[in-house]
């Protein structure tokens, strides 16, 4: 009886496929294994050895494909993780949507706003769920801070700042031909690494109204930026800054500071480092200084597990996932505005952007 029950539970799991078996694909595979609602059934990569290795590592029974159309034709695949280079995300999201598969797409949703909007439209037209990956939103610390901001505990918001002082080596940039290219990575320190902290800042502070910025290549021999700064004005009237780099030693985890006329909260990595609200006590912790800030492989799967379970629930309950495509789009638009401002000598840029401003380069 117990065996029959366990088998029934296993069969109720959402069959999952992974598109792209490079660096991040195995994290999705590990995350799927950690859930109670999904089961890895297939993976795909144009490099056969990658797909075969991931299938062998997470088998038995995981099918390895080298053609995307074959994976998308597999009836056991109900949902997919898109883990390919950033500039290919929209193409693969659209293909998955048209095949009737639900989608969890790695950040960024794509590197062009028009491509993102086409992906969102395809998911809507094909009646499938589309979710973005921004695991920092899933932390309990983030939820506490967002609730404090939402309920007005900080008073009138005055400043919202994101500091992302990361380290990535020359070897990291040389490890993949698509890395640090405008065509497939869509940018450097901001589009690849800084997009997480920018999304988190927007999640807590709300939309940006206008900004001015500078993006520079100061250390790494790459065509995209390794360092950028921006001054922001939010729609709620608050102001703030974004600092993003991959060229400082030793590298520090993301730090978000939210200040109002009634208090200040500082998030450092997954920890609440300061909770300075008169009359309120909140446990604070010192965050680890490095982790993924210096090593892109040193990430926890906890956030990805949450994203996968949320998409499974969204499929079952026929609701939007916690981070639908339109939410995942916001950080990319801010980054594109930063690049546009920098390309024009730091001039002020108003949001929203038009597709005419969707070019690449700084």
pLDDT in tens, 241-271: 999 999 999 999 999 999 999 999 999 999 9
Give span(s): CATH 3.40.50.720, the chain: 2-135
Give span(s): CATH 3.30.360.10, the chain: 139-297+325-357
Residue 288 DSSP label? P
Instruction: For residue 274, give the H/E element and its range.
Output: strand 271-276
Could you check whether the bond before residue 60 is cis, i.e. omega within 30 degrees of 0?
Answer: yes
CATH 3.40.630.10 fits 139-297+325-357, yes or no: no
For residue 9, is pLDDT > 70? no
Task: Walk across the sheet containing 63-65 and list its strands.
Answer: 63-65, 38-44, 14-19, 79-82, 102-105, 130-132
Residue 292, CA atoms < 13 Å, CB-side half-sphere: 19
For residues 52-56, give the mean pLDDT.
98
Q: What is the pTM of this model?
A: 0.93
Q: What tokens were used for 117?
A: 């909007």
For residue 177, is pLDDT > 50? yes
Give the separation between CA 97 and CA 100, rounded to whole angstroms: 5
- 2-135 CATH: 3.40.50.720
* Alpha carbon distance, N-terminus to C-terminus of the chain: 63
Give the separation between CA 222 and CA 317, rounded to whole angstroms: 45
What is the structure's pLDDT at 4?
29
Beta bridge partners of 272: 267
Nearest to 147 by CA among 252, 240, 280, 310: 280
For residue 97, is pLDDT > 50? yes
- Are 81 and 164 in contact by the 8 Å Cβ rule? The answer is no
293-298 long-range contacts (CB < 8 A, ≥24 apart) are: 293/164, 293/165, 293/166, 293/167, 293/251, 293/252, 293/253, 293/254, 294/166, 294/167, 294/250, 294/251, 296/23, 296/168, 296/172, 296/193, 297/23
Q: What tokens were used for 264?
A: 């200040």
Q: What tokens were used for 263?
A: 């208090």
Residue 60 DSSP label? S
270-326 pLDDT, tens per residue? 999 999 999 987 767 765 555 566 565 556 899 999 999 999 999 999 999 999 999
For residue 74, is pLDDT > 50? yes
């Amino acid at each position: 009886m117990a065996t029959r029950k366990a088998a029934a539970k296993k069969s109720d799991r959402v069959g999952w496929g992974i598109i792209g078996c490079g660096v991040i694909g195995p994290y999705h595979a590990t995350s799927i294994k950690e859930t109670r609602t999904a089961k890895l059934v297939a993976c795909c990569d144009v490099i056969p050895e990658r797909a075969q290795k991931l299938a062998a590592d997470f088998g038995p029974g995981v099918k390895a494909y080298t053609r995307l159309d074959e994976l998308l034709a597999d009836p056991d695949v109900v949902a997919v993780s898109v883990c390919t280079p950033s500039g290919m995300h929209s193409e693969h999201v659209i293909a998955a949507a048209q095949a009737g598969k639900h989608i969890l797409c790695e950040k960024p949703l794509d590197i062009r706003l028009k491509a993102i909007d086409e992906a969102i439209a395809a998911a809507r037209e094909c009646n499938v769920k589309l979710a973005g990956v921004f695991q920092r939103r899933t932390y309990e610390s983030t939820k506490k801070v967002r609730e404090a901001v939402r309920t007005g505990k900080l008073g009138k918001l005055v400043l919202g700042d994101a500091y992302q002082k990361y380290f990535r080596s020359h070897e990291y940039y040389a490890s993949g031909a698509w890395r640090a290219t405008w065509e497939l990575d869509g940018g450097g320190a901001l589009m690849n690494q800084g997009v997480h902290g920018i999304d988190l800042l927007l999640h807590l502070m709300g939309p940006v109204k206008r900004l001015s910025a500078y993006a520079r290549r100061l250390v790494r021999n790459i065509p995209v930026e390794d360092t950028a700064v921006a001054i922001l004005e939010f729609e709620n009237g608050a102001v703030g800054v974004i600092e993003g780099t991959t060229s400082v030693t030793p590298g520090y985890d993301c730090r978000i500071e939210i200040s109002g006329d009634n208090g200040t909260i500082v998030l450092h990595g997954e920890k609440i480092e300061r909770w300075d609200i008169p009359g309120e006590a909140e446990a604070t912790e010192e965050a680890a200084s490095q982790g993924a800030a210096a090593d892109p492989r040193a990430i926890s799967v906890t956030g990805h597990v949450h994203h996968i379970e949320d998409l499974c629930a969204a499929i079952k309950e026929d609701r939007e996932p916690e981070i639908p495509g339109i939410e995942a789009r916001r950080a990319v638009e801010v980054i594109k505005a930063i690049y546009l401002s920098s390309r024009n000598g730091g001039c002020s840029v108003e949001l929203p952007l038009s597709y005419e401003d969707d070019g690449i380069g700084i």
